[in-house]
Amino acid sequence: MDSIDGLMDEIVALVKGAAHPARGTVSLSPEVAAALERCPSTVSTVPAAPPTVPAAPREEVVDAGGSGRSLEELAEVVAQCKACELCNGRTQTVFGSGNPHADLVFVGEAPGEQEDLQGLPFVGRSGDLLTDIIEKGMKLRRDDVYICNVIKCRPPDNRDPQSGEKSACEPYLLEQLDLIQPKVICALGGHAAKTLLNTDESTGRLRGRWHSYHGTPLRVTYHPAYLLRSPGEKKKTWADIQEIIKVLRGEAAP
């Protein structure tokens, strides 16, 4: 019993050491989480240790950047992922691109056809518009920011992602964001915003104010594909981008 108690003490100490300093949570990959769920309890006779890692409100297994993986290593894990049926139709996963230490991360919905073929997020006309927003509007290089999607595989015929697919992919996104540690997240479009904020509100109702995603300031704006169909909404998007610029420059608080 003493040896088991000592082992438990060591485990608790390791968990505390790996915990995110701000959130007090630890990172588990979906594969490890699934393996742990399948493991039967072998310490039922050991008195329960007091909880040391608070559970995040939205995930059964929390992920807070404590895995020790790099973005490149996480991308390799994602490339082998078979957590949902989207893996059956993909050409390749679309993990993300840009500065791994970016102050700003844009999060979209899911890869389209060209993204699936090229393995890069936001290419084609939507990607060109997003690049214009970054480079012409924000006066940054596209490589200065980081761009990714909630879903890492293309849904068939570019249909909307299903809730189970979002749930399967979100732990990867959470680990991405915790590895990057951005100052601001910009959610592009309703699907990204609803997933990140766990809400059913429309983009129109969510934009125009600041939100928080696991402690990181988040701003919602319209997806570039929507702006191509509704160019009259570009002024609203520019207003959102200007607020992001102010926060990045330290001119305003979110």
Beta bridge partners of 187: 107, 220
- Amino acid found at 76: E
Residue 33: is its pLDDT beyond 60? no
Percent of the chain exceeding pLDDT 70 equals: 74
Give the 3-state DSSP-derived string for 182-242, with helices as H, strands as E and coil as C: CCEEEEECHHHHHHHHCCCCCHHHHCCCEEEECCEEEEEECCHHHHHHCHHHHHHHHHHHH
Read off the pLDDT band of 67 (50, 70, 90). low
Average pLDDT value for the chain: 82
Residue 5: band (very low, low, confident or very high) from pLDDT cuts 50, 70, 90: low
The label of the residue with tokens 């983009």 reads 203
Is 228 a residue whose pLDDT tops 70?
yes
- C-alpha gyration radius of the chain: 20
Determine the pLDDT at residue 105.
Answer: 98
| CA–CA gap between residue 219 and residue 96 (Å, rounded) | 19
- Between residues 47 and 188, the one the model is more confident about: 188
More confident position, 63 or 210: 210
Over residues 117-166, the pLDDT tens digits come to: 999 999 999 999 999 999 999 999 999 999 999 999 999 999 999 999 99
What pLDDT, on the 0 to 100 scale, is given for residue 68?
Answer: 80
Least confident of 35-44, 70-79, 143-152: 35-44
Confidence of residue 179 (pLDDT cuts 50, 70, 90): very high
Judged against a pLDDT cut of 90, whether residue 26 lies above it is answered with no
The confidence band for 9, taking pLDDT boundaries of 50, 70 and 90, is low
Q: Taking 50 as the threshold, does the pLDDT of residue 7 lie above it?
A: no
Mean pLDDT within 220-245: 97
Under 8 Å between Cβ of 89 and 156: yes
| pTM of the predicted protein model | 0.74
Q: For the structural domain made of 71-248, what CATH number should be given?
A: 3.40.470.10
Compute the distance between CA of residue 173 and CA of residue 110 in angstroms, rounded to an integer.
12
Question: In degrees rounded to 5, what are phi and psi of residue 212?
Answer: -135, 135
Instruction: Break the chain into its structural domains and give their ranges.
Output: 1-37+53-67, 71-248
Q: Is the pLDDT of residue 46 over 90?
A: no
pLDDT of residue 122: 97
